[in-house]
Amino acid sequence: MKNLIAILSLAFLVACGGGDQKSVETLVSEGNMDALKELRAGLMTAQKETGAKLKEIEDALGKEDELLAKKLPLISVFNIEGKEFNHYVELQGSVETNQNVVVYPELSGSLLDFKVSMGDRVSKGQTVALIDDGGMRKQLAQAEQGAKLSKTTFERRKRLWDQKIGSEIDYLTAETKYLSDIDKVQQMQEQVAKAVVTAPFSGIIDETLADEGQIVLPGQTPLFRIVNLSDMYIKADVPEKYLATVQKGKMVKVNLPVLDTMISTRIEKVSNYINPANRTFRIEVNVPNEGGLIKPNLTAKLLINDYTSDEAVLIPQSIISENSEGKQYVYKVKTTSKRSMVEKVFIETGVKQGDYIEVLKGLVPNDVVVQEGARTVKDQQEVQIIK
């Protein structure tokens, strides 16, 4: 456009004889033929360039007028690319552990000593607390002495009986007394052992629930809670329609929103029972917890891959329309050098993920479909594509 203005300005100045240019009359009177020829050549070149520019302007204005006359719908397009598609079943669950236990005493008595506090790590079998046994240890010592004596008596009676000396009744009485004393000692040992409270498994003391000096009762007075965070899992209920695809060993992505963490793991267990109340079956997914940040009852989202396609045709769900018969369709765009046309194409869809859905029939990779403006076009209508 700047070149055109410059050319027109030059032609005007020459024609008018303005500026520093000599007029044609002056050149003629001077007999300067070379200058006249040069001037003529310049004007002829300017005329050709001006004509070409004017034609370009006329063509552009003509196309604009043509578009305005046609009032073509404006659309944007979506280019379909065949790509790998993974569909995931999304389920809600919470983290659990089988080793999350509140420990109660097995013996009544005063709590003498709490050897641990909240947050302490303990090993299986480690002594955690002591309960007053009420003198049972002394009774046990007496019972052991009695059992020792009855053992000696029994052994002597047995040697005599083996030599056919003495009566059988004396031998049997000694044997019965010895066995009875041994049984009594074992029972008392079991009772005394209950005065020592040990950790049922290795883990962390989550909280202590009783105080030293407090009278504790079996099954009624909680002593402490112990948790093992290395053996975590998630339970989730899966709708029965996924029974054939959600199976043991399937890969699972575990999203823990609170921790902003995604973990890859596998389905460890699948129930063989469908709950008639909600038509679901249960699965369990192991959760590695190396850092110990995952806690019981933490909310989790499971993403289970139930379907994969190596070259899927995916389109936004928002561009799909439906006719009165319930058939789905989109508008495919066919573009030539002169114009773009749309064609209604009926499609069959599969699974969806987020805002996109897989097209099983009707479209192939490299097809172009109408995205914005799909509701304003008609079959076989010419359109203008917004770049």
Specify the pLDDT at position 70.
60
Specify the pLDDT at position 140.
85
74 C-beta neighbours (distance < 10 Å), count? 12
Q: Are 188 and 169 in contact (CB under 8 A)?
A: no
**62: pLDDT strictly greater than 90:** no
Distance (Å, whole) CA 239 – CA 304: 13
Specify the pLDDT at position 333.
93
Please report which confidence band the pLDDT of residue 305 belongs to, taking 50, 70 and 90 as the band edges: confident
Please report which confidence band the pLDDT of residue 302 belongs to, taking 50, 70 and 90 as the band edges: very high
**Average pLDDT rounded to a whole number, residues 210-224:** 92
**Average pLDDT rounded to a whole number, residues 136-146:** 87
Per-residue pLDDT reduced to its tens digit, 245-273: 898 988 899 999 999 889 999 999 999 99
Q: Are 107 and 191 in contact (CB under 8 A)?
A: yes
> Quick one: which of 324, 191, 296 has its CA closest to 234?
296
**204: pLDDT strictly greater than 60:** yes
Specify the pLDDT at position 50.
83
| Pair type for strands 382-385 and 74-75 | parallel
Query: Which residues fall within 8 angstroms of residue 130, CB to CB, at 6 or more apart?
Result: 111, 112, 113, 115, 195, 196, 197
Specify the pLDDT at position 268.
93
> Quick one: which of 350, 234, 231, 229 has its CA closest to 303?
234
**Residue in the structure block whose two tokens are 């073509």:** 72
**300: pLDDT strictly greater than 90:** yes
